[in-house]
Chains A and B, each alone.
Chain A
Amino acid sequence: MKLQKIIFSILAASLVLYGANIAFAQEKMTKEEWEKQIQEYTAKRNDLKAKLDKLDADIKALTAQSASKDADFAKCEAELYALVGATRAEVEAYRAKVNALEGKVTELTRLSNQDLWNRKGEVDGAQTDLNGLRMSKISLLTEFWEKLTSIQQKIDGLKATLAAIANTMERWYTVGTWSRDRDCLWNIAKKKDIYDDPFKWPKIWQSNRDKIRDPDIIQPGWKLKIPPVAPLTKEEKAAANRHYRKKAG
């Protein structure tokens, strides 16, 4: 019985030792495995080194190509600016002016009819600025060529709106002095933004009968009603004829 116990104990111990031995052997790499991995990684390293060398050579060539393209572009740009007789700085200054004009015109297009009418002088100013910009050869660069065309279209639109306002809106005109403004009904009717036609002076007279008794006499500071643009009515023509006859007689 005692012997059996001893045997059993030894057997159990041997099993434990055997298991531990196997586990330890599995954790450690065998020489064959090591050699296999060394070969595998050495081959991989050599391939990668060759690939890296090729990539470095490619990058060097591409960098040189990129620098060459930069030089080509600088040369092409200089030739382009020479065609319009400008330097890069002048083109940039011109761009700033075009952008400012575009901003101004865009602002005008957003105004209500009444506000636009009040600022109609700015439309003429924008047209003058645009004409000035078109005097420069820089305007021939496509960037500006297209932008200036677009601005001109907007200004044309504004002018059409102003003409439509002039045709439909009853406006007011404050009479200036003769010495400074040469204001008389004839000259007022002649103004471009009134009727652009001096023969329409009776229209202003007839619409302001409460103030004007004698059409040859108007006072500085009077606010005259300017009726919409239209041909003279029968009454207006008749009033003008009576006035001419009275003056002649």
Chain B
Amino acid sequence: MRHLRRATLPVLVAAFLVGSLLLGGCTRHASEEELKQLNDLKAEVASLEKQIAEREGAKANLEKQIAAKNDKLKWCADEQQAVKQRLQNWK
């Protein structure tokens, strides 16, 4: 009985050890290639986000320029009217 107890303990411990290693090793992990694919995708997304920020800036700038040009056009039309009126009284 005493021999049996002596033999059981190491067996249990060894089983625990092997079991724990096996448990960890059973999970499926992404391969290096797959991780590279994911990283490339992330980099592409980051690049697209940067391009969009640039385009949005350019668009806002163009909209601002067009608003200023509209003001200039309105000024020019008003100026034409004013000059025509002054010309009527000009000798």
A binding-site residues for B, Cβ under 8 Å: 3, 6-7, 10-11, 13-14, 17-18, 21-22, 24-25, 28-34, 37-38, 41-42, 44-45, 48-49, 51-52, 55-56, 58-59, 62-63, 65-66, 69-70, 72-73, 76-77, 79-80, 83-84, 137, 140-142, 145
- 7 shortest interchain CB distances as A-B pairs: A21-B24, A14-B17, A34-B30, A69-B69, A48-B48, A76-B76, A55-B55
Q: Of B27, B45, B76, which contacts A30 at CB under 8 A? A: B27
Evaluate contact between A30 and B73: CB separation under 8 angstroms: no
Would you give the shortest CB distance from B30 to chain A, in whole angstroms?
Answer: 4
**Known A42-B41, A137-B90: A66·B20 in contact at CB below 8 Å:** no
Main secondary structure, interface of A, reads helix
Q: Which residues of B contact A29 (CB under 8 A)?
A: 29-30, 35
**Known A38-B41, A48-B52: A80·B76 in contact at CB below 8 Å:** yes
Chain B residues with a Cβ closer than 8 Å to the other chain, count = 50
Evaluate contact between A10 and B17: CB separation under 8 angstroms: yes
7 new A-B pairs (CB below 8 Å) besides A6-B10, A24-B24, A25-B24?
Answer: A34-B30, A45-B41, A55-B55, A59-B59, A66-B66, A83-B87, A84-B83
Is B13 interfacial (CB 8 A cutoff)? yes
Would you give the shortest CB distance from A58 to chain B, in whole angstroms?
Answer: 6
Evaluate contact between B86 and A59: CB separation under 8 angstroms: no
Evaluate contact between A34 and B73: CB separation under 8 angstroms: no
Evaluate contact between A14 and B16: CB separation under 8 angstroms: yes
Evaluate contact between A140 and B83: CB separation under 8 angstroms: yes
Q: Which residues of B contact A62 (CB under 8 A)?
A: 59, 62-63, 66
Q: Which residues of B contact A73 (CB under 8 A)?
A: 69, 72-73, 76
Q: Of A59, A66, A141, which contacts B69 at CB under 8 A? A: A66
**Known A7-B13, A141-B79: A63·B30 in contact at CB below 8 Å:** no
Q: Which residues of A contact B41 (CB under 8 A)?
A: 38, 41-42, 45
What are 28 A-to-B residue pairs whose CB atoms are below 8 Å? A21-B25, A22-B24, A30-B27, A30-B28, A31-B30, A31-B34, A33-B30, A34-B30, A38-B37, A44-B45, A45-B44, A45-B45, A45-B48, A52-B48, A52-B52, A52-B55, A59-B55, A62-B62, A65-B66, A73-B73, A76-B73, A77-B76, A80-B80, A80-B83, A83-B83, A137-B87, A141-B83, A142-B79
